Amino acid sequence: MNTQMAGRTPLALTWQRFREHRLAVVSALVIGFLMFIAISAPLVEAMLGVDGRSVDLFSRFLPASSEHPLGTDELGRDLLVRLLYGGQVSLFVGLTAALIAAGVGTMIGLLAGYYGGRLDAVLMRFTDGVIALPLLPLLIVLAALDLSKIGLSDEILGSENLSLYRIIFIVVLAGWTTVARLVRSSALALRERDFIKAAEAQGASAGRIMMVHILPNLASPIIVAATLSAGNIILLESVLSFLGLGIQPPTPSWGNLLTNAQELIWDAPTLAFYPGILIFITVIAFNFLGDGLQDALDPRSLNHRRGN
């Protein structure tokens, strides 16, 4: 097997290792499918001939039918369409916040790891301070802040997407620390390597060394950390929305769909089941995908799990 692998490119070897992790492959397909059907929400809405925001109190709690494949909610809105639009919001929040948090953490970790010294000490103590904060109470306090007190215009305060962007901002504030520590530890090791010393001897600037020579070598841990955090962020958004502090109606998300269903759990249990199972499947899929990417991008972790 080693002879067969010797002539392959690193990308081909990575793909082969990823394919061997069957749960990760299935998870990637599940996430891709969820993203596809969420993006297709307007098309599904048009095909069914319904309006996901239109209230029809005469059609409350209808059972599944050809017109409403999953039935209707407490306001007579099509549940399938609401779930698809909610998936757009929840997946957008999870992926966007994960990418931004990874970018912030990468920048801080690079600066700390490459320069070291006092800058490293200050940035890492700040990171430790953020890590030490109790996450959920902090997110609840930040989400409950009255934005009108900080001078935002009425136009911004009246935007339907304000709660969405606020959740992303809040999650990013607390979600960059893991990537920062991973990047910092890797950058500390890389800056002592011969190719970094050679670049410095040739007069390369610190910015060029970090961006061209160090950052590409950190892609693996950054990708894995961002993938794993995406599922956690979707879960956090759902928790905040469930508490009434996340995405605010009429914008749907899986979290606030679950919130709206909590008082109807005995009368219409499917209203809570569908968003709950989607959150569960998505978070599990991102976790398995992260494990698979870790094994594919870092063969040492795969060998460790196999006991080699």
Q: What is the pLDDT of residue 196?
A: 87
**How sure is the predictor about 205, in pLDDT bands with cuts at 50, 70 and 90?**
confident
d(CA 98, CA 92): 10
| 198 CB burial (10 A radius; 0-12, 13-18, 19+) | exposed
Least confident of 48-52, 111-115, 275-279: 48-52
**How sure is the predictor about 306, in pLDDT bands with cuts at 50, 70 and 90?**
low
Question: What is the chain's Cα-based Rg?
Answer: 23
Instruction: Answer for the pair 101, 179: CB distance below 8 angstroms, yes or no.
Output: yes
Q: What is the pLDDT of residue 100?
A: 94
Q: What is the pLDDT of residue 57?
A: 83
By three-state DSSP, how is residue 213 classified?
A: helix
Percent of the chain with pLDDT over 70: 89
Q: To which H or E segment does residue 214 belong? A: none
State pLDDT tens for residues 148-203.
666 666 666 666 677 788 888 888 888 899 899 999 998 988 888 888 888 888 88
Residue type, 63: P
CA angle 268, 274, 277 (to 5 degrees): 130
DSSP class per residue in 101-139: HHHHHHHHHHHHHHH-HHHHHHHHHHHHHHHHS-HHHHH
Average pLDDT, the chain: 84
Average pLDDT, integer, range 273-287: 92
Domain boundaries, the chain: 11-306
d(CA 78, CA 51): 7
DSSP 8-state assignment for residue 216? G
Tokens (6 digits) for 286: 């991102």
Instruction: Answer for the pair 295, 302: CB distance below 8 angstroms, yes or no.
Output: yes
DSSP class per residue in 51-79: -TT---GGGTTPPP-SSSTT-B-TTS-BH
**How sure is the predictor about 3, in pLDDT bands with cuts at 50, 70 and 90?**
very low
Average pLDDT, integer, range 125-135: 87
CATH, domain range 11-306: 1.10.3720.10
> Does 1 score more than 60 pLDDT?
no
Average pLDDT, integer, range 220-232: 87
> Does 66 score more than 90 pLDDT?
no
> Exposed e or buried b for every residue in 35-73, given b needs 16+ CB within 10 A?
bebbeebeebbeebebebbeeeeebebbeeeeebebbbb
State pLDDT tens for residues 20-61.
888 999 999 999 999 999 999 999 999 988 888 888 888 888
Average pLDDT, integer, range 249-255: 83
> Does 243 score more than 80 pLDDT?
no
Average pLDDT, integer, range 291-307: 66
